[in-house]
Amino acid sequence: MSAGQPPFDSPEIRRLTPVIGPGYTYGSVTDKISAIVLTRPTSLGWYVGFLIAFSLMGMLTVAVGWLIIKGVGIWGINIPIGWGFAIVNFVWWIGIGHAGTLISAILFLLNQKWRTSINRFAEAMTLFAVACAGIFPLIHTGRPWMAFYMFPYPSTMGLWPQFRSPLIWDVFAVSTYGTVSLMFWFVGLIPDLATLRDRAVKTPMKIIYGMLSMGWRGSARHWYRYQSAYLLLAGLATPLVLSVHSVISFDFSIAIVPGWHTTIFPPYFVAGAIYSGFAMVLTIAIPLRKVYGLEDFITMRHLDNMAKVMLATGLIVAYGYFMEFFMSSYSGNKFDVFLVQQRLHGPYAPFYYALILCNILLPQLLWSFKMRHNVAVLFIMSIVVNIGMWLERFVIVVISLTRDFVPSAWGRYSPTFWDWATFIGTMGMFVTLIFLFVRVLPAISIAEMRELVAETSEDEK
Amino acid sequence: MHLHRSHIYGVMGEFGDPEELIHAVQKIREAGYRRLDAYAPFPVEGLSEALGLKRNLVPAITLLGGLGGGLTGFLFQVWANVSSYPINIGGRPLNSWPAFIPVTFELTILGASLAAVFGMLALNGLPQPHHPVFNVHRFSHASSDRFFVCIESRDPKFHLADTARFLQSLHAHHVSEVSDD
Amino acid sequence: MREHEQHEHIDGRHDRNDPAADAKLREGSMDLAAVRAKLQSKTGKQYWRTLEELAGDPEFEELLHREFPRQAPSEWEDSVDRRDFLKLMAASLTFAGLSGCGRTPEQYVVPYVKQPEGMVLGKPQFYATVMPFGADAIGLLVESHEGRPTKIEGNPDHPSSLGATNVFAQASVLNLYDPDRAQTVTKFGEIQTWSLFVDSAQAIAAEMKAANGAGFRMLTGIVTSPTLAAQIQSLLTLFPQAKWHQWEPAVGDGTREGAKLAFGSYLNTVYRPEKADVILSLDSDFLGSGPGHIRYAREFSRRRKLNGPTDTMNRLYVVEPTPSVTGATADHRLPLRASEVELFARALAAKLGLGGSAAIPPDAEKWLDAIAKDLQNHKGASLLVAGEQQPAEVHALVHAINATLGNVGTTLYYTEPVEAHPANHLESLRELCADIDAGKVETLLILGGNPVYNAPHDFDFASKIKFDEKKNRKPVKNTIHVSSHFDETAELCDWHVAESHYLETWGDARAFDGTVSVIQPLIAPLYHTHSAREALAAFGDKPGVSDYEVLRDRLKAANPSADFEKFWRKTLNDGLVAGSAFAPASANLKFSVASLVAAKTTPADDIEFLFRPDPCVYDGRFANNGWLQELPKPVTKLTWDNAALISPKTAEKLQLAHNVAWRGGEHGKIYSNVIDIALSNSKVTAAAWRLPGQADGVVVLPLGYGRKKAGYTGTNKGFNAYAVRTSDALWTASAPTSAIKKTGDDYPLACTQYHFSMEGRQILATGTLEEYRRNPNFANEHAELPPKELSLYKGEAEFPYNREKWAMAIDLNKCNGCNACVVACQSENNIPVVGKDQVMRGREMHWIRIDRYYEKAKSATNDPSSYDESLFNPPTFFQPVPCQQCENAPCEQVCPVGATAHSAEGLNDMTYNRCIGTRYCSNNCPYKVRRFNFLRFQDWETPQLKLLRNPEVTVRSRGVMEKCTYCVQRINNARIESEKLNAPIRDGAIVTACEQACPTEAIIFGNANDKESRVAKLKAQQRNYSLLGELNSRPRTTYLAAVRNPNPELESA
Amino acid sequence: MAQIFHRSTNFIARFSVFSTLFLVGVALVAVLAVARSPYMTRQNISREQPVQFSHKHHVGDDGIDCRYCHTGVETSAVAGIPPTKTCMNCHSVLFNNAAYLEPIRESYRSDKSIQWVKVHRLADFVYFNHSIHVNKGVGCSSCHGQINQMPLVFQAHTLLMQWCVECHRNPEQVLRPKDQVFNMDWKAPDNQAEIGAKLREEYKIRTTAELTSCSTCHR
């Protein structure tokens, strides 16, 4: 194409990058997508990948088992650094878990056609990420069996949770988010489950999909209520998804620890969440479309748009970093000023610079049309951003705690074998779930693709 | 006669694309049929209007769910902190309502969402794995690439032969009788 | 002792959430007798194959070599034993939602058969006794729960303690329950009965009698016990040829010999710091160690008390080679090498017109003038104190100077010696060794002490009692060792008699001023142990007699009174014989300064090596005490190790560095270079520690570490400085710089506070007396407290604290960092020991810590990267930091389960059994005073340690946050008692453990609502300030700024 | 296309949805109920003792005062289980060769304690002090029930925190005149409310806030 960059959203680009490949009918999309689940033989690659992921997940169970036997002392945490990897990973996973609902909900409300082919597995990814995140608050006390104290149940002590604590807010935010995402995802699945039911050959399959689809028959009356429910869910999920990471950010901004106690956190945590979320979607979408030949459904248009979203949110995050500096020096609070200095000159400075590189500098490449349309670059970029966002959480959680108010109490933190085992273990769990998902459920919403076919065909008329 | 009817659920016509379907539905209603339903692999724009569907309770239910969740959430927190077991937490007032907002908000969303989903399922009468329309052989296409309309035997104007013929006249690709057992 | 009710009192409280604890408790239904039986049958600890081994954990190797004290059972050492399976089961059960239904099995109540008189179950009893220590005896009141001594307090009526204590006294109760104590009589390591020992002792005695006791030798440490002394004397009359030798490794002969040199006879010096306006310490740590130091610290601190700007203070000059507690308290501190201290003394004498002369370093000159003038201006109200480790000459000079200044009789007085048998210990030991070599010694009876470990290495004491391969015979026919542990010496002796703890025996001892104090047992011996006196008696003519009778008889003889029983009861009650202190003795100088031979000096560019007792394990006798091992040393803040202390400059020269490890970091693990020290044809390898304020060219080698046979806790910790300590250089050795070689290795040291700069924050407010007078409010001007309107809840009613409002005031002007409060707190509140590894990870559990800051220090730490002039002699300050009990507690607001909440009296309560361990509170605590049980730090197994626990305080288990509670157990008990009488709680009725132990009265606790209370008065002072008050946390614990009283002359320069 | 599911499955499906919800609810309630049940609290369960000591006989019939055996109750945190000696005070004379008292005599002879099964158990992190309650007009029977009618002692109340706090919130309901504290048969009079309030004044009992602070019972 011409060397000159076309403007961001011109008809030219639309033509160059349609949201769905040409020449598809209702039948063909149905066949192509359902085939992945029903007829396509399971490849050796799938088994290998699954096995690796699953063994990593095994490591997670070992790590958690050992934690339960020994207590959190097996981790690198100490006084003053009471929170380490567990919380870093928790925030990181939860952040990743934002893309799915965001894509499905917000883009749905904004009536973005290009969302259709990615929302399904984006939502799935959300659920799995939230599952991984959910593990950490549970185990990070080393005594998960005490967690029920955090729920408002009528206890024999006549006591209730302490509702002023952000950790209690977390409990409600995360569980609500998990539930709503799950429902949103399942409601979206119902028509496709019906499709699978009707196309399945083996009886057990028919029965399983039959049960899951709850007897969906595509009645116009059902579609009528279904659509309004789906719309409402989207409307509810949107403020929810924004609230969840705000609440997570309260864990820090409510505290008085310098580097935590700042009002910029909620917005920039949310932006960061979307940032990492889209990065993760890319990380999964790119291999997925390659392996299952879905290039026509997940087109360059999709990748391009997601890259743009990353670029935008990345800039918001960058603004957040800048504001931290500005506010600390503007307020002149000596503790904050010192903390910010620490990030630049303290023992952990390398992590901070790495963070700036991954989250701010490198992503600027995405301004270039060429880069946005280079799948390899996008893939690497998505990984880089994931790393960057993890570093951000590390910088916030750990560095702030190493040097707070009383110099005599300053300390340092470094993760142990078990910290890593748990972290990598959750990654294993995440990938395992993804593998299972693409194997047994349609990774792309068939029903919505049919709509898309209908609409695009109208466009052509 | 009556006995005979009970075995028939209705007559079903199959169409190739949304436009045909909508056109057919309109014709059927003009013909005075009221007990009918259409089936499509995806929500077809204008179909509900054609069927004359108006009442939709889902939003109302959702609103109630939301209000319920939110109010219980907030009032419970106030009660637990102020009257159930008042404890001095860091010198904060017993009713530190600003701190109770996040939980209230989350519970509002939760209540509303649950109401929306389960309300929708309930109104749609799901789960309902068994349904007469599944008896129609070609109905499996309803979840893929075909569009159906079914005039039910409950309709006072229903007459097996006439209705079938009427559907034929609407250029249905197939017309089949939907048995009810 | 008998069975008694409420076995939980023995097991200690425990965290219900820990099934392991439950399990333990169930088994734990045991009583003293049972425990004792258990102990006496005990055959060492079993080890388990660890799970790491099975799981192939990469850290396994490291874990294997991990050091864990028995008092803090290694979390790693016995990993998958019964407890852990229980835990695992409990956990899995819970996941199955079942454990809620698992109910704990039956418990049993074990009442007495015949309840002892005067015992009320559930009420502690207090008994007066004393702890003999060197040439002093510390008067104590010991708390006992159903017959278990659990807590040591000072005896207010006793001259040496005045109600306060020091770290050794506080920690001595742990020695009683030390699982590694020797438990019975052994011969060649084989268990023997006591009677068998007595028989063979008698046999030996019989032989001896024939030879008039020739070849019979006794070796003791310092003996201040009149009874023991009398008994030894009677033996000596029984065996005219026998000899009594003494060896006290950590007490210098300088003190004794100095008096002899000055007055011609041994005399004991008693100081009255309270009466002195100007004090000069010549390398003396009289506030931190040595006879009477607890009392001296209190008297001294009374002269540092400021009620207002018009008050006056005393002034303390310290000339010392290495920073001590006393040096840190000084208004002026001059670092000089030990040898130069003597020169300084001579020069001062000359300046004061006592003749003689000496050349001192130029920068010390202006010091000399200033001090001399100051002293002369305060004739009769000044005081010079010479250090225990300084040679006789310095002591003699000090006596002379004190005399000319007219201080004798006012700020100090002399008495006859406190030691029963004052002698030159070095010579005494030398003689013994010589005699052994000459084959003159048949029988050697070692009462206490551990000469094989701590005798000068050129004596090679081991060879004196070890079987001689070449000659194929033993140098000494019979060797008997009496000591509490089966230690290095015991190993080489034929007989070893397990010695009873002072809390298990009757006895007596003289305090620093001569007061006869009675040692009264609180518990029958836990094992088959006996007192030194009993062991000695075995050789005498009446072996059978009990300590009790002997003591009574002697007291009867010494104090003839109409009604002896009355006298006896009073004596036991007071813990001392009233009016038995020595009367001041007249002392006239028999020496002239001019007559002194020239001082022996260290060449300028040589390194001076000093041997000093360790502030925590002393001469090594406390090596197996976990509390003391884990206690951060006052100045260095090192734990679990000793290190060669080197001044920054010298370290620079030798290129010795530290670096901060990533795990733990500044608050935990510091890697420091290892050096070989070749000294007097011996060698030792030590970790080098750069110590700001140390005199240049001085290396301090703390004694007491590197034990080879101390017990589970103390063995192989640190390096053994005795290995390079020779008889000709007991305290100061010198060698060229080449004596120190870098090995190139690094050694991890556990340092609880490596960072000593305040980073320009007002953490510890300090000023000078003038500043204070000019601006009494200086402490509060840095930080402005936020106005109350600045609140999210503006207008909301604040919580009223109408009745009691508990609060604490800590006077930084008095605190000298002695650590007594830290150990007291550990003992009172069942605080576990975590071991070196965990300290290095920054997980020590002390509820009150003492921060040490170097004022004006430009650099933050003393690794070479940040190192500068300001560290050569930095003004040092100490700040005890317990929980600040904030009214707007940041910790409470973030706890998800309300495990920490405010009581109606404004206490920041911590409810352990509600805590689920999110550690959020600790993150949000600006003072970082909360402590977390990262692992199962408490020892639920060792039965001895159950006896030690304070039943009034819950024993915390794994995963639970804990912190200072203002000793809420004491508050509650006092409240209950006053409520019963419907009387208000009077000021001083509640004394926190730290306050009670504090020798300087720096910590005051009370009801801030009571305007008359001491604490309210202190808080009313302008010096009073809140730590980090600008955070609006409104701490109940506040500090009073430290004020120093420098000499204007020296200030100006 | 053939039907996959039989007509009946419609009912089954819907029914199962509701029944699952129902069962989950029941399970939750059950868990909460068990925690309060005598099975967990040991309420109203009397235990076998080495000697079947009957409070009914000694207190009810013989009218021996509580304090004769439980000597610490007015002064100490623990009321105290009497030493064997106390039993022998009488039983060296009365029933001094009754077989069922052999364990007592044996204990006295051999100087070995009798191991009584503990009936009233509080968690070890709870610090209950008998003396303050007794001194502030809280009678024995308020917590221990009518011991004088118990042949074998059982726990009359749940001893759950809820139960303790209930009384710490409004002590008025149990406060009695000092002379009634050891009266096992004391019943709250009809005007207990006002009497209680008066007594609370008189005994200078602390405010509810003070009585329900965590550190009142937990240290």
Instruction: Identify whether B171 is part of a domain.
Output: no
Contact B43 A223 (CB under 8 A): yes
Interface partners of chain D (CB pairs < 8 Å, 3 or more) are: A, B, C
Instruction: Identify whether B173 is part of a domain.
Output: no
Confidence band of C19 (pLDDT split at 50, 70, 90):
very low
Instruction: Identify whether B25 is part of a domain.
Output: no
- Higher pLDDT pick, B146 / C719: C719
| Axis crossing angle, helix C392-404 with helix C254-263, rounded to the nearest 10 | 50
Number of Cα atoms under 13 Å in the Cβ half of residue A218? 30
Chain D partners of A206 at a C-beta cutoff of 8 Å? 4
Both tokens of C1000, joined, read 């300087």
Pairs across A and D, CB distance < 8 A: 28
Query: Is D18 part of the contact surface with chain B (CB cutoff 8 Å)?
Result: no
- Higher pLDDT pick, C785 / B92: B92
Query: Is B94 part of the contact surface with chain C (CB cutoff 8 Å)?
Result: no
Chain C partners of B88 at a C-beta cutoff of 8 Å? 799, 901-904
Q: ipTM for the complex?
A: 0.91
Query: Is A69 part of the contact surface with chain C (CB cutoff 8 Å)?
Result: yes
Query: Is C898 part of the contact surface with chain B (CB cutoff 8 Å)?
Result: yes
- Can you give the pLDDT at residue B143? 85
Chain A partners of D165 at a C-beta cutoff of 8 Å? 157-158
pLDDT of residue B113 exceeding 80: yes
Contact D125 C14 (CB under 8 A): yes
Contact B140 D9 (CB under 8 A): no
Q: How far is A122 from chain C (nearest CA, A)?
A: 31
Chain D partners of B136 at a C-beta cutoff of 8 Å? 1
Average pLDDT over residues C188-194: 92
Instruction: Give pLDDT tens digits for A179-235.
Output: 999 998 899 889 989 988 888 888 888 899 999 999 899 899 999 999 999 999 999
Q: How far is C833 from chain D (nearest CA, A)?
A: 20
Confidence band of C450 (pLDDT split at 50, 70, 90):
very high
Confidence band of A419 (pLDDT split at 50, 70, 90):
very high
- Can you give the pLDDT at residue C518? 95
Chain B partners of A237 at a C-beta cutoff of 8 Å? 113
Question: What average pLDDT is seen over chain B?
Answer: 89
Residue C907's closest chain D neighbor by CA?
D215
Pairs across B and D, CB distance < 8 A: 39
- Can you give the pLDDT at residue A13? 53
Which of B109-113, C39-43, C125-129 is predicted least confidently? C39-43
Chain C partners of A417 at a C-beta cutoff of 8 Å? 57-59
Residue D211's closest chain B neighbor by CA?
B87
pTM: 0.90
- Can you give the pLDDT at residue C953? 94
Residue C918's closest chain A neighbor by CA?
A141
Average pLDDT over residues B16-30: 89
Task: Scan residues 328-367 of A and list those with Cβ closer than 8 Å to B.
Answer: none
- Can you give the pLDDT at residue B42? 86
Contact A194 B53 (CB under 8 A): no
Query: Is D157 part of the contact surface with chain A (CB cutoff 8 Å)?
Result: no
Q: How far is D12 from chain B (nearest CA, A)?
A: 9
Question: What average pLDDT is seen over chain C?
Answer: 87
Contact A154 D13 (CB under 8 A): no
Contact C25 D124 (CB under 8 A): yes
Contact D219 C100 (CB under 8 A): no
- Can you give the pLDDT at residue B162? 87
Measured between CB atoms, which of C755, C761, C959 is closest to A141?
Answer: C959
pLDDT of residue C472 exceeding 90: no
Neighbouring C-beta atoms of residue B82, cutoff 10 Å: 13
pLDDT of residue D13 exceeding 80: yes
- Can you give the pLDDT at residue C25? 33
Instruction: Give pLDDT tens digits for C384-431.
Output: 999 999 999 999 999 999 999 999 999 999 999 999 999 999 999 999
Instruction: Identify whether B45 is part of a domain.
Output: no
Q: Give residues with Cβ within 8 angstroms of C469, minimum separation 6.
A: none
- Can you give the pLDDT at residue C18? 38
Chain B partners of A251 at a C-beta cutoff of 8 Å? none
Residue type, C93: L
Q: What are phi and psi of A55, to 5 degrees?
A: -70, -35
pLDDT of residue C13 exceeding 90: no
Q: How far is D13 from chain C (nearest CA, A)?
A: 27
Pairing of strands C1024-1025, C1037-1040: antiparallel
Chain C partners of A71 at a C-beta cutoff of 8 Å? 75, 933-936, 958-959
Both tokens of C171, joined, read 């920690």
- Can you give the pLDDT at residue C7? 37
- Can you give the pLDDT at residue B6? 55
Instruction: Give pLDDT tens digits for C262-298.
Output: 999 999 999 999 999 999 999 999 999 999 999 999 9
- Can you give the pLDDT at residue A112? 79
Instruction: Give pLDDT tens digits for B37-59.
Output: 999 888 888 888 888 888 889 99
Pairs across C and D, CB distance < 8 A: 158
Domain spans, chain A: 255-414
The contacts found for C458-467 with CB under 8 angstroms, 24 or more apart, are C458/C680, C458/C726, C458/C727, C458/C728, C459/C429, C459/C430, C459/C433, C459/C727, C461/C433, C462/C488, C462/C492, C464/C432, C464/C433, C464/C436, C464/C437, C465/C436, C465/C489, C465/C492, C465/C493, C466/C492
Instruction: Identify whether B106 is part of a domain.
Output: yes
Both tokens of B95, joined, read 């009713």
Both tokens of D112, joined, read 């070995």
Which of A163-177, A279-293, D134-148 is predicted least confidently? A279-293
Chain C partners of D111 at a C-beta cutoff of 8 Å? 2, 113-114
Residue C969's closest chain D neighbor by CA?
D219
Instruction: Identify whether B179 is part of a domain.
Output: no
- Higher pLDDT pick, D148 / C21: D148
In contact, C370 and C1050? CB cutoff 8 Å: yes
- Higher pLDDT pick, A108 / C716: C716
Instruction: Give pLDDT tens digits for C901-923.
Output: 999 999 999 999 999 999 999 99
- Name the residue with tokens 């959190």: A72
In contact, A373 and A300? CB cutoff 8 Å: yes
Number of domains in chain B: 1
Instruction: Give pLDDT tens digits for D81-120.
Output: 999 999 999 998 988 888 899 999 999 999 999 999 999 9
Interface partners of chain A (CB pairs < 8 Å, 3 or more) are: B, C, D
Instruction: Give pLDDT tens digits for A427-459.
Output: 999 999 999 988 888 888 888 888 778 777 665
Instruction: Identify whether B62 is part of a domain.
Output: yes
Optimal mutation site among B88, B95, B96, B103, interface C, most CBs of chain C within 10 A: B88
Q: How far is A145 from chain D (nearest CA, A)?
A: 15
Q: Which domain holds residue B76?
A: 58-123
Measured between CB atoms, which of D9, D212, D214 is closest to B129?
Answer: D9
Query: Is A204 part of the contact surface with chain D (CB cutoff 8 Å)?
Result: no
Question: What average pLDDT is seen over chain A?
Answer: 88
Interface partners of chain B (CB pairs < 8 Å, 3 or more) are: A, C, D
Pairs across A and B, CB distance < 8 A: 189
Q: What percent of chain C is predicted at pLDDT more than 90?
A: 73
Residue D41's closest chain A neighbor by CA?
A156
Instruction: Give pLDDT tens digits for A356-390.
Output: 999 999 999 999 988 898 999 999 999 999 999 99
pLDDT of residue C596 exceeding 90: no
Contact C667 A80 (CB under 8 A): yes
Query: Is B101 part of the contact surface with chain C (CB cutoff 8 Å)?
Result: no
- Can you give the pLDDT at residue C14? 34
Contact C952 D127 (CB under 8 A): yes
Chain C partners of A65 at a C-beta cutoff of 8 Å? 88
Query: Is D4 part of the contact surface with chain B (CB cutoff 8 Å)?
Result: yes
DSSP state of A103: I
Instruction: Give pLDDT tens digits for A69-84.
Output: 999 999 999 999 999 9
Q: How far is B89 from chain C (nearest CA, A)?
A: 5
Neighbouring C-beta atoms of residue A348, cutoff 10 Å: 18
- Can you give the pLDDT at residue C855? 86
DSSP state of C697: T
pLDDT of residue A424 exceeding 70: yes
- Higher pLDDT pick, C10 / C102: C102
- Can you give the pLDDT at residue C413? 95
- Residue C737's nearest CA partner among C647, C861, C864 is C647
Neighbouring C-beta atoms of residue A344, cutoff 10 Å: 10
Contact D4 A154 (CB under 8 A): no
Integer CA distances (angstroms), C66 to C665, C836, C837, C838, in order:
18, 8, 7, 10
DSSP state of A76: S
- Can you give the pLDDT at residue A442? 83
Contact B91 C887 (CB under 8 A): yes
- Can you give the pLDDT at residue C865? 66
- Can you give the pLDDT at residue C872? 85
Measured between CB atoms, which of A73, A347, A411 is closest to C934?
Answer: A73
Instruction: Give pLDDT tens digits for C700-736.
Output: 999 999 999 999 999 999 999 999 999 999 999 999 9
Task: Scan residues 97-156 of A and list those with Cβ closer than 8 Å to B.
Answer: 152
Residue D74's closest chain C neighbor by CA?
C980
Query: Is C979 part of the contact surface with chain D (CB cutoff 8 Å)?
Result: yes
Residue C453 Cα to chain centre, angstroms: 21
